[in-house]
Structure 1
């Protein structure tokens, strides 16, 4: 369907024309036809009961006010490469939320994508092709992924658009799996997932998602890293608190990994069921309030929490109000990084203290101190790559002039999305050699097979060495804890899924 033009001038002309043609009835035609116009902008339509504006833009249309600054910079960058035969990468993530913390995460991910685009076009010694960035919003929890994916498939088939990869893919849900399967298997479009960590949305011998590359350590890899960090944790002193809501791959694999770590625990897992929209609170504070006495009466010192950030916040509030005089360590997944930007958690940091307080520890996807100047790690990451990203972020937030808006590397969201788009750029440009000016989709997909060893991507989050299935091999896992003094995630140390750092070539053994 061809979208109607948008803008107040167009609509005013339509009203005038209808009024002339139909007299006083023109107003009613306008309200019945124009007001119900599904278009928000070119390539973007209203969908669903919330009338969400979902679809694809080059930055000309902003899905949310908070996104406007960075969208403006992306639009300017896209305009600058127009007519220069650019390759297109689409960042596909939900981009609007009523939850302020989640909305900030979306903004940071778009900022990371822009910084990768800018680096590719301005700090890569003129390497070709230039990079154009599209912004694809599939709606909350990927509810409208199919029409957006179909539009991406058209862009991939168009010689004018030259879409060569989709990056981002940030939440591990059933809809996410369907999106990735459709893009890779049905449409042949390479995908580089960013913060996605579920174990069951990845390739193995089955090649269920041909063309999928992942750069973040899976939940299992995170658990292995946490296990090596906390080797002294006794299963008999642990308890699992888990969300049993169906259809959430992140929860499913987190439950499985934590239950394995707690094998031998005397108490069965405490369970709860979050709302289908996991950004909503529901009545779970009541559930957690009832759980706390049982936790206090147990021998548990470590609680493995398999849940999303809103529910983690609710749980910590109730655990902070407990009557027993015990210290607890709560270990959870990488999505806990949301708490550092959750305004509703602002008054709860005081519970995270020593003595009879609470320590919240998790495996982060990225942390600036992991490869900062004080890092002593010899392999597995790059100080230079982190310095470059920090420099890009500094330049993108000038004291005067257009800025991408407030951003920080501290929670890792900017870093991991920057690495996702940077990996996509590497795959595209590695195949742009000789007479080849624009690689095909199959060429880009197959390039993932070569991103290891000396051809690895030196990501800001650590080396990205992809195995034969496109999964990150022994990716660095920063172990962090929530620090009430700074109200940020404080870096503890790096842990490795393999129990040790990779060698200097990031070699992958045949048995890996």
Structure 2
């Protein structure tokens, strides 16, 4: 092409050379411009409301389901978008008859670890099921509910930017009235919850956050204004374990604790386990997990030498105060112990619920004399059959949830045993109950938060799938049922329900109100 162009040019080599420079410059500029259109170098946008942030360029922000934060969430994101569009269709042309508000679920939406990915998926599914139930199974109650997905990043590092987006949505056409979420009790999530509730004034229903100081109390009634929790505290979980383990000798108990700081869940477990070994002369066994406790680090090596010390101790009951990755490493090393003739029972808190989906767990260890029991916040068998308690929850409430999970959620029983879908369904159900209990088509944020005060008593309690939710004056679930479970040594991937435990020692009566 250039050769034919030269043939039409007047002048000698100098002119032709100059023209060559001009032509190449034009082609280069055009090429770069075209590349820039297709591959914008500095475009931070992943989708509407979602931006790349941080050194890992994570897509964080808020979406109505139009943008799936991960391949795992593609299916459920599509369902949420479809349900939101359905709400728009119901409202169109009927402003005097029907109205809506939005709730948002905030979680790290694209974790790197396989077990965490599954946990996130089931949690989002649980919130979606609550949205669907509210819009289709509650006899036309108003307002209708839209659902938004909020991703603060894998380490919650971008929580402030995302919370600011959510605040704008409380003023905008989205009519955001409550947020549901957070599933770990760590320093960064405490900071995020403080900013969302105390600084921005957005009502929040926590997910499976159990650390005792992650809620309001008589000593600190305004630590997190507008925060509600629908799960038992870590101390409540430990009490349920203690009820199961009554009569055990303190000398046969040993605490295995993570000494990494700034993790409220771990700290709460340590404190809750202390009474179970009161009187023992043996100090706890300690290890240090990586700052990012999702990573493997060198803790497997630490546990290898620790197991040798455990073998020479009188311990039989091992109380593990740590996160799931380290618990899995500990179980694997304990399964390979030199004292194979000794049997051990490992107890832990609700964080252990992700173990069932951890492909690196050695289930063979459970067939070598190792039993793993933990306090889950819910389990499908807790409210099934004639042995279910007459109060504290009901077979019917759980049955309605499971039917919805199977028919609308296309979920299997295996998707429910880690308790995450049940917990987040109950959290969203609590938010929606308060929103609709204001008797206002457009409740304010303050009205929604004040609505928490009414969620107790025979008629006011929330009939959750994991048991009754009866809030005390500080927004904590009073005497919430604890499902004590064990990893099934006979079938990999199965969790066996043992019994229900109660922080107050027995189920609440129908009035379900915290004492003065």
Pairing 1:144-293 to 2, within 5 Å after superposition: 144-158=158-172, 160-205=173-218, 206=220, 207-293=222-308
Query: Is residue 340 of structure 1 aligned with residue 356 of structure 2?
Result: yes
Which structure 1 residue ranges, 5 or more long, are not aligned? 1-18, 398-402
The residue number in structure 2 matching 1:76 is: 82
Counterparts in 2 of 1:376 and 1:360: CA distance versus 1, 3 Å: same
The alpha-carbon deviation at position 226 of structure 1 amounts to 1.2
The alpha-carbon deviation at position 103 of structure 1 amounts to 0.4
Counterparts in 2 of 1:21 and 1:421: CA distance versus 1, 3 Å: farther
The alpha-carbon deviation at position 24 of structure 1 amounts to 4.0
The alpha-carbon deviation at position 508 of structure 1 amounts to 2.0
Query: Is residue 360 of structure 1 aligned with residue 342 of structure 2?
Result: no
The alpha-carbon deviation at position 50 of structure 1 amounts to 1.4
Across the two proteins, how many residue pairs are aligned to each other? Answer: 478
Runs of 4+ residues over 4 Å off in structure 1:
19-22, 27-31, 403-407
Q: 1:450 aligns with which of 437, 440, 454?
A: 454
Check conservation: 1:40, 1:46, Cα contact below 8 A. yes
CA offset digits 1:424-474 (Å, max 9, x no partner):
00010000x2xx311110000011111011200000000000000000100
The alpha-carbon deviation at position 373 of structure 1 amounts to 2.2
Q: 2:488 aligns with which of 483, 487, 497?
A: 483
CA distance in 2, matches of 1:109, 1:393: 12
The residue number in structure 1 matching 2:435 is: 428
Check conservation: 1:62, 1:68, Cα contact below 8 A. yes
Q: 2:132 aligns with which of 94, 118, 134?
A: 118
Check conservation: 2:388, 2:395, Cα contact below 8 A. no
Query: Is residue 391 of structure 1 aligned with residue 422 of structure 2?
Result: no
* Other structure's SS at 1:63 match: coil
* Other structure's SS at 1:197 match: coil
Of 64-73 and 177-186, more deviation after overlay is shown by 177-186
The alpha-carbon deviation at position 420 of structure 1 amounts to 0.5
CA distance in 2, matches of 1:384, 1:376: 11
The alpha-carbon deviation at position 411 of structure 1 amounts to 1.3
CA offset digits 1:317-350 (Å, max 9, x no partner):
11001111111010011111111111111xx212
The alpha-carbon deviation at position 21 of structure 1 amounts to 11
When normalised by structure 1's length, the TM-score is: 0.90
Check conservation: 1:193, 1:215, Cα contact below 8 A. yes
The residue number in structure 1 matching 2:420 is: 413
CA offset digits 1:365-424 (Å, max 9, x no partner):
100111112433111011111111111111125xxxxx5799621111110000000000
Pairing 1:27-176 to 2, within 5 Å after superposition: 34-82=40-88, 83=91, 84-158=98-172, 160-176=173-189
Check conservation: 2:255, 2:285, Cα contact below 8 A. yes
* Other structure's SS at 2:178 match: strand
* Other structure's SS at 2:155 match: helix
Check conservation: 2:70, 2:109, Cα contact below 8 A. yes
The alpha-carbon deviation at position 259 of structure 1 amounts to 2.5
CA distance in 1, matches of 2:249, 2:412: 45
When normalised by structure 2's length, the TM-score is: 0.90
CA distance in 2, matches of 1:27, 1:122: 48
CA distance in 1, matches of 2:81, 2:223: 35
Check conservation: 1:369, 1:375, Cα contact below 8 A. no
* Other structure's SS at 1:276 match: coil
The alpha-carbon deviation at position 22 of structure 1 amounts to 4.3
CA distance in 2, matches of 1:452, 1:155: 29
* Other structure's SS at 2:402 match: helix
The residue number in structure 2 matching 1:314 is: 329
Check conservation: 1:70, 1:404, Cα contact below 8 A. no
Q: 1:459 aligns with which of 461, 464, 477?
A: 464
Superposed CA RMSD = 1.8
CA distance in 2, matches of 1:28, 1:57: 28
The alpha-carbon deviation at position 29 of structure 1 amounts to 5.1
CA distance in 1, matches of 2:159, 2:387: 40
CA distance in 2, matches of 1:20, 1:468: 71
Counterparts in 2 of 1:319 and 1:185: CA distance versus 1, 3 Å: same
The residue number in structure 2 matching 1:378 is: 390
* Other structure's SS at 2:381 match: helix
The alpha-carbon deviation at position 35 of structure 1 amounts to 2.6
Counterparts in 2 of 1:20 and 1:204: CA distance versus 1, 3 Å: farther
Structure with greater Cα Rg: 2
CA distance in 1, matches of 2:412, 2:491: 22
Check conservation: 1:69, 1:404, Cα contact below 8 A. no
CA distance in 1, matches of 2:385, 2:137: 22
Counterparts in 2 of 1:57 and 1:155: CA distance versus 1, 3 Å: same
The alpha-carbon deviation at position 276 of structure 1 amounts to 1.6
CA distance in 2, matches of 1:229, 1:449: 33
